[in-house]
Amino acid sequence: MYAIELESITKTFNHFTAVNELSLTVPKGSIYGFIGPNGSGKTTTIRMIKNIFYPNKGNIKILEDSHTGSTHGNIGYLPEERGLYKKMKVREILQFYGQLRKTKHINTKINYWLKKLELSEWSEKKIEALSKGMSQKIQFISTIIHEPEIIILDEPFSGLDPINADILKSAILELREKGSTIIFSTHDMSMAERMCDYIFMIYKGNKVLDGTLTEIQDKYGTDTIHLQTEAGIKVLQNISGIEKINDFGQVQEIKIADKVDPQEILKSIIQQTKIYKFEIAKPSLNDIFIRIARPENTDTKLN
């Protein structure tokens, strides 16, 4: 069964098409990653699912129910633009949101999630006293306190330090284990790779990727070499068969041309410098994102 079904939805603003003929199915109980450059249509799509925007055409089904024209109460939504009542105390604001959603056993749930997200000692503090990361975790709790079947998180890890990002990741995975369907929009490709069952990419309003990470990587083949050498990028500039170089300083990611033998690339490099790492791999999600979104100027191009 699908938690969400989008059938050829289109959204325009005056003469600008933000989302074009988009069809998508999100299986129940999955973690579905939405990726794409800024302005690509991710947030517009999310807002149509949440019924903040109505599509100009197409159909949306939430848990097999037609969605357009009504607000589905079984969706928790954490928007990218955060906002909490700063003068309210943590427990008060969570009780407020829980009551709005008619949450049962609300104090038990508040205590559980405050402990889970390491915020119990802040329960009687005002929101204005919290750090940005703490406030973000409180807003996350307010989003899921009523245990919705579908949870939509727009850039949930943005601005979090590694410790808090790991705490939030653990909470998201727990919700999935309990049966929730999770959609999250992110610019963190490594997080999408590690967490998502499915990944959808939208670019200029059009769907360009949709599937599991393995399916997406298989589409792009095994044309990538992860490389670390003593001399760095300078030894790669004149090697035949290298199509593009993505330079990370200490490590380079090389895209090789079609029908080029990676062993020939290895021979050419080893004649010039010491090699610390040489790994033939499928392209990372980050590399695929770059190829689609900025193919003309992101990578170092070779003549």
Is the domain of 55 the same as that of 160? yes
Is the domain of 122 the same as that of 238? no
The parent domain of residue 91 ranges over: 2-217
Q: Which of residues 303 and 168 earns the better pLDDT score?
A: 168
Residues of the chain with pLDDT > 70: what percent? 94
Is the domain of 275 the same as that of 134? no
Is the domain of 129 the same as that of 256? no
Q: Give the pLDDT score at 70.
A: 47
Q: Give the pLDDT score at 73.
A: 66
HSE-up of residue 184 (Cα within 13 Å, Cβ side): 28
| Residue after which a domain boundary falls, among 196, 217, 238 | 217
Is the domain of 203 the same as that of 274? no
Which residues are within 8 A (CB) of 253 and not within 5 positions of it... i.e. 6 or more apart?
224, 225, 226, 227, 245, 246, 284, 287
How confident is residue 303, by pLDDT bands cut at 50, 70 and 90? very low
Burial class of residue 92 (count of CB atoms within 10 Å of its CB; 0-12, 13-18, 19+): middle
Residue 227, beta-bridge partner list: 252, 278
Instruction: Please say if the pLDDT value at position 67 is more than 70.
Output: no
Question: Rounded to two decimals, what is the model's pTM?
Answer: 0.82
Q: Give the pLDDT score at 300.
A: 41
Where are the alpha helices (H) located in the chain, listed in sequence order? 42-49, 90-100, 106-116, 132-144, 162-177, 189-195, 213-220, 262-270, 285-293
Q: Give the pLDDT score at 80.
A: 78
Is the domain of 75 the same as that of 174? yes
Is the domain of 243 the same as that of 266? yes
Q: Give the pLDDT score at 298.
A: 43
Is the domain of 173 the same as that of 263? no
What does the chain come to in residues? Answer: 303
How confident is residue 68, by pLDDT bands cut at 50, 70 and 90? low
- Name the residue among 34, 38, 62 with its Cα closest to residue 294: 38
How confident is residue 64, by pLDDT bands cut at 50, 70 and 90? confident
Determine the angle formed by the axes of helices 90-100 and 106-116, rounding to 10 degrees. Answer: 130
Instruction: Please say if the pLDDT value at position 65 is more than 80.
Output: no
pLDDT digits (tens, 9 = 90+) for 188-213: 898 999 999 999 999 999 999 999 99
**Residue 270, domain CATH:** 3.30.70
Instruction: Please say if the pLDDT value at position 253 is more than 50.
Output: yes
Q: Give the pLDDT score at 72.
A: 58
Other residues' Cβ atoms within 10 Å of the Cβ of residue 248: 10
Pair 241, 257: CB distance under 8 Å: yes
Is the domain of 260 the same as that of 279? yes
pLDDT digits (tens, 9 = 90+) for 97-129: 999 888 889 999 999 999 999 999 999 999 999
The rounded distance, in Å, linking the Cα atoms of 7 and 22 is 7
Determine how β-strand 252-256 pairs with β-strand 242-247.
antiparallel
The rounded distance, in Å, linking the Cα atoms of 210 and 215 is 9
Q: What is the average pLDDT score of the chain?
A: 89
Which residues are within 8 A (CB) of 92 and not within 5 positions of it... i.e. 6 or more apart?
none
Percent helix, strand, coil in the chain, to 5, is 35, 30, 35
78-82: Cβ within 8 A, 24+ apart: 78/139, 78/140, 78/143, 78/151, 78/152, 78/153, 78/154, 78/156, 79/154, 80/43, 80/154, 80/155, 80/158, 80/185, 82/135, 82/136, 82/139
pLDDT digits (tens, 9 = 90+) for 259-298: 889 999 999 999 999 999 999 888 889 888 988 887 554 4
Pair 227, 278: CB distance under 8 Å: yes
For the segment 134-145, the average pLDDT, to the nearest whole number, is 93
Is the domain of 274 the same as that of 167? no
**Residue 91, domain CATH:** 3.40.50.300
Is the domain of 226 the same as that of 197? no
